[in-house]
Amino acid sequence: MKSAVVIPAFNEERTIGDVITAVRQVPFVGEAIVVSDGSTDQTAAIARSLGAKVVELPENQGKGGAMMVGINSTDADVVLFLDADLIGLQPFHVVDLLLPVLEGRADMTVGIFEQGRLATDLAQFVAPYLSGQRAVKREQLKQLSNLELTRFGVEVALTRFAKSAGLSIEEVELREMSHVMKEEKLGVLKGFMARLRMYWEIAKCVGKS
């Protein structure tokens, strides 16, 4: 079975390089696809220089839209979604997320941060279905509709779909991993407002479940 990694990214020049470098060290990953979702920084250029396939969107479509573009850019049997702002990603994390699906032990894996940073560990302990690190069989992804409309509610939509379709889900511990908080990227005020918008989009998806 072929596998691909899809990384939706919006202005993630500080971290995208480390994420791609880890992914590219896994021999059975066929391609790394970065969907630059209306980025205005060097995200696309850095990704391309490290050997990733880059799809540049002229306008921001939101995470769900970027993920759908990534899905349509590969014919891999299994797709692993990774956030572009991860801290501490190592090749073995990628292997741990992909193998259960590639070997047929699960239809989907969901990565849970462990022993990274308190804020991100706690958030995923409370709501593991919000994790953006997950591998899924392509045949299952084909059954999804309107993923591009979910924006930041995409993880909720994926979890809801998996449960309704009776898919087997395996949680994978991602030790010593975390991600950059919005307040760190944008400043306290702008980051807080961005977080509120994200939670609103998530709440809308949860309300539909």
Q: Is the pLDDT of residue 184 over 70?
A: no
Identify the pLDDT of residue 190.
Answer: 63
Q: Which of 27-31, 58-62, 109-113, 193-197 has the highest mean pLDDT?
A: 27-31
Here the tokens at position 19 are 């994420």
How many percent of the chain have pLDDT more than 70?
Answer: 74
CB-based contact 110:133 (threshold 8 Å): yes
Identify the pLDDT of residue 177.
Answer: 86
Q: Is the pLDDT of residue 107 over 60?
A: yes
| Higher-scoring residue by pLDDT: 207, 107 | 107
Q: Is the pLDDT of residue 121 over 50?
A: no
| Higher-scoring residue by pLDDT: 30, 177 | 30
Identify the pLDDT of residue 85.
Answer: 92
Here the tokens at position 170 are 């395996």
Which residues contact residue 64 at a Cβ distance below 8 angstroms, ignoring those fewer than 6 apart? 147, 148, 149, 150, 151, 152, 153, 154, 157
Q: Is the pLDDT of residue 191 over 60?
A: no
pLDDT confidence tier of residue 186, bands split at 50, 70 and 90 = low
Q: Which of 116, 111, 108, 110 is nearest to 139 (CA)?
A: 108
CA dihedral for 200, 140, 171, 34, sign (positive or negative)? negative
**Domain residue spans of the chain:** 3-179
Which residues contact residue 133 at a Cβ distance below 8 angstroms, ignoring those fewer than 6 apart? 80, 81, 82, 83, 86, 93, 97, 110, 111, 172, 174
- For the entire predicted model, the pTM comes to 0.80
Look-up of token digits 């509610």: 153
Fold classification of 3-179 (topology level): Spore Coat Polysaccharide Biosynthesis Protein SpsA; Chain A (3.90.550)
Q: What is the pLDDT of residues 137-159, one digit of tens each?
A: 988 887 776 665 555 567 777 88
Identify the pLDDT of residue 93.
Answer: 97
